A and B are shown apart, each in its own frame.
Chain A
Amino acid sequence: MGELPQHIVNSLIMGGTYALLGIGLTLIFGIMKIVNFAHGELYAFGAYMMYLFAGILGLNFFLSILFAVCAGMVLGAAIELLLLRSKRSADIDTTMLIMIGAWIVMQNAERMIWGGVAKSIPSPLPATPLVIGPVSVSWLRVLVLVIALALIGATYFLINRTKLGKAMRATFLDSNTAALMGINTGAIYTATFALGSSLAAAAGALLGPVFVVSPTMGDLAALKAFAIVILGGLGNITGATVGGFILAFAEEMGASYISSGYRDAMGFLIIIIVLLFRPTGLFARSERVG
């Protein structure tokens, strides 16, 4: 068990970006009732934007992250306006099919534009790891965690402390009533999708330099985001945050103590187990019946 501290640190770092992914997806589901299959592609999009800005154009690393996040936001808003706006009253299966279509288009567009070969993004940070006692971690990963936590904090602030956040929460509770109260729910939907997309893009921009950027990177990300959201309960932001860290921890443990091949299976096992025993997620308050 001497490696446990290292595993915990590793999962904390992955957990931060997982939480970003999960919060984005859970916001979109909670407020818009849309199962966003393109979420993983927005993650991949963020990573490619990071590659474009930092890797190809050679812009400042931090500026590139900011640009990637903004690009994700713009793309998210565009998707909402083009594909989802007119289908707002459609059932969940319809929007799901639309998002699956969008996912296929986006992934193959990436492959067409960037090619199938994985790209790496240069990092400006020192290559020597940070060593504290038994734990060793690269500076880049520390930075990823810090930025992820900052973004999570900013999202919380946005949701809980701003007027926009208040309107989003109202729409989440009851969109009809919110509309009656004078909230422009159409704008809220666009904002929600843009925000969720920008968080996914942020996760991609952060993990892109840690790993490599490839067209299929979004697939697993999307499924992991689903796992996180289910773990935390659909529409529950705190649940998604905690869920992100739990998934990262479960993966780390699964990879070290079962087999590294099953790292990615942990998310799905979590989904199946949670849904079988606690279908409303781990952090759901008991609902009023009827």
Chain B
Amino acid sequence: MRKIFPWLVVLFFATVPLWLHAQYYLNTLIVTGLFMLAAMSLNLLLGYTGQLNLGQVAFFGIGAYVSALTSLGFSITVFGFEITHDPWPPLIGILLGTVAAGLCGYVIGKLSFRVRGAYFVIVTISFAEVVRLVALNWVELTNGPLALPGIPPITLGFDWTGSITLWGKIGNYYVILFFIVLAYIIIKRLVESPFGRAMIALRENETLAMSLGINVTRYLVLAAVISGAIAGTAGCLYAHYIQIIDPMIFMFLNTVTMVIMVITGGKGTLAGPVVGGLIFGIVPVILRKYVGPEVQWILYGALMILIVFVLPEGVVPAVERWFERAAPSAEKKRGDAAAPSVGLEAGKGAR
């Protein structure tokens, strides 16, 4: 059941465009999916290595800008040299945007090694703010506050195969669903491998982790690179879906949204950011009918505080525990049956 359940969820979401025809709701789901993807990337750092990166939006925005500029082309003068870039296909843009965000992740990962805790948090915010100010002020490249309009939508296929361009919502919906599934699998495989164990070890007890021979730097950097790359991909997809981006993309509130999704769903759980993402993607749609955006944000902030007080581990672990309590005998039996059998196998190996 545990293995099939995620696929059932994917199957369900794959059918959504078949019966949900309202463009408005489809748009909501797409944007929710993009933030969910970013939240998943944040969870890798916050949930598994324990580093609160409050500059996650920088990866997202850098991905968006790199991909947009790659596919739009630009012409700038740097130190007297004129650099001109002709438009490339969006898919290459997405690739480059992902790589660029991953490289920024590398820098942040290295940084987190020099500074920890409160300092790390502040450095990451500063990093995102500096990137935002560059996007705002480097008008020649980014158009500054006037935004980059006319970003081409994603085109799938090659010259020799024929291609489709994803102008509409349905195509984008499936692309994003695909990337969410891909990111989920990548993160799952990673955190359930020795890599993930090393990350969790450093979250739980760094000194002990080091004394066990775990090269803490390496795993932090690895987590930050992958986290940055996934957030970057989300940003790329955002740019090609919305087709216009401006420096507001780097808003700190976007990071806050990701953080809220992760801690509400449950940091350090695979399903956490997905559940949190759905809650904070869909709740606003309902709220919007009744209250203004200020009240909506006030409720967000209050909910965040409430979660810390009432459900500090998040929704997913709480629900899991509830299920375990509801069916304790089944769980227990399974656990008891599993342990000795593995033990016997191990016994054969031991002398």
Chain A residues within 8 Å of B, Cβ to Cβ = 29, 35, 83, 86-87, 92-94, 96-98, 100-105, 107-109, 111-112, 219, 223, 226-227, 230, 234, 259, 261-262, 264-265, 267-269, 271-272, 275-276, 279
- Least Cβ distance of A287 to chain B in Å? 15
| B293 CB contacts on chain A under 8 angstroms | 108
Interface 1/0s, chain B 220-237, versus A by CB < 8 A?
A: 000000000000000000
- Least Cβ distance of A84 to chain B in Å? 11
Among B29-37, B88-96, B115-123, B189-197, the stretch that binds chain A is B115-123
Q: Is the CB of A275 within 8 A of B119?
A: yes
Chain A: CB-nearest residue to B116: A279
A224 to B126, CA, bound (A): 10
Which residue in B137, B298, B304 is a CB contact (below 8 Å) of A112? B298
| A108 CB contacts on chain B under 8 angstroms | 293-295, 297-298, 301
A226 to B129, CA, bound (A): 13
| B119 CB contacts on chain A under 8 angstroms | 230, 234, 275, 279
| A234 CB contacts on chain B under 8 angstroms | 118-119
Interface 1/0s, chain B 224-268, versus A by CB < 8 A?
A: 000000000000000000000000000011001001000100000
A105 to B133, CA, bound (A): 25
A261 to B137, CA, bound (A): 6
A227 to B111, CA, bound (A): 17
Which residue in B52, B127, B253 is a CB contact (below 8 Å) of A272? B127
A259 to B111, CA, bound (A): 27
| B304 CB contacts on chain A under 8 angstroms | 97-98, 100-101, 104
| B298 CB contacts on chain A under 8 angstroms | 104-105, 108-109, 112
- Least Cβ distance of A120 to chain B in Å? 22
A219 to B164, CA, bound (A): 43
| B256 CB contacts on chain A under 8 angstroms | 100, 104
Interface 1/0s, chain B 136-153, versus A by CB < 8 A?
A: 110000000000000000
Chain B: CB-nearest residue to A234: B118
Q: A223-B125, A265-B129, A265-B130 in contact; A101/B302 too (CB < 8 A)?
A: yes
Query: Is B300 located at the chain interface by the 8 A CB criterion?
Result: yes
A100 to B257, CA, bound (A): 11
Q: Is the CB of B308 within 8 A of A98?
A: yes
| B252 CB contacts on chain A under 8 angstroms | 219
Query: Is B10 located at the chain interface by the 8 A CB criterion?
Result: no
Q: A101-B305, A112-B294 in contact; A272/B133 too (CB < 8 A)?
A: no
Q: Is the CB of B126 within 8 A of A109?
A: no
| A105 CB contacts on chain B under 8 angstroms | 297-298, 301-302, 305
Q: Is the CB of A93 within 8 A of B52?
A: yes
- Least Cβ distance of A254 to chain B in Å? 11
B window 131-171: CB within 8 A of A: 133-134, 136-137
| A101 CB contacts on chain B under 8 angstroms | 301-305, 308
Which residue in A104, A109, A268, A279 is a CB contact (below 8 Å) of B130? A268
A102 to B303, CA, bound (A): 10
| A92 CB contacts on chain B under 8 angstroms | 117-118
A262 to B118, CA, bound (A): 25
| B121 CB contacts on chain A under 8 angstroms | 35, 96
Q: A92-B117, A100-B256, A112-B295 in contact; A227/B126 too (CB < 8 A)?
A: yes
- Least Cβ distance of B308 to chain A in Å? 5
A226 to B115, CA, bound (A): 15
A109 to B130, CA, bound (A): 27
Q: Is the CB of A102 within 8 A of B305?
A: yes
Given A97-B263, A104-B253, A261-B136, 8 new contacts (CB under 8 A): A93-B52, A223-B126, A261-B133, A261-B137, A265-B129, A265-B133, A265-B134, A271-B126
Q: Is the CB of B122 within 8 A of A226?
A: yes
Q: Top 3 A-B pairs ranked by shortest CB distance?
A: A104-B301, A268-B126, A101-B304
| B302 CB contacts on chain A under 8 angstroms | 101, 105
Which of A94, A101, A269 has the most C-beta atoms of chain B within 10 angstroms of its own C-beta?
A101
| A98 CB contacts on chain B under 8 angstroms | 304-305, 308
Which residue in B52, B115, B295, B300 is a CB contact (below 8 Å) of A279? B115
A86 to B309, CA, bound (A): 9
21 pairs of residues in contact across A and B, judged by CB atoms under 8 Å: A29-B118, A35-B122, A87-B309, A97-B263, A97-B304, A101-B304, A101-B305, A104-B301, A105-B302, A109-B294, A111-B294, A112-B292, A112-B294, A219-B252, A230-B122, A261-B137, A262-B133, A268-B129, A271-B123, A276-B111, A276-B115
| A271 CB contacts on chain B under 8 angstroms | 122-123, 126
Q: Is the CB of B130 within 8 A of A272?
A: yes
Q: A29-B118, A223-B125, A259-B137 in contact; A102/B301 too (CB < 8 A)?
A: yes
| B263 CB contacts on chain A under 8 angstroms | 97
| A275 CB contacts on chain B under 8 angstroms | 111, 114-115, 119, 122-123
| A104 CB contacts on chain B under 8 angstroms | 253, 256, 297-298, 300-301, 304
| A109 CB contacts on chain B under 8 angstroms | 294, 298
| A259 CB contacts on chain B under 8 angstroms | 137
Query: Is B17 located at the chain interface by the 8 A CB criterion?
Result: no
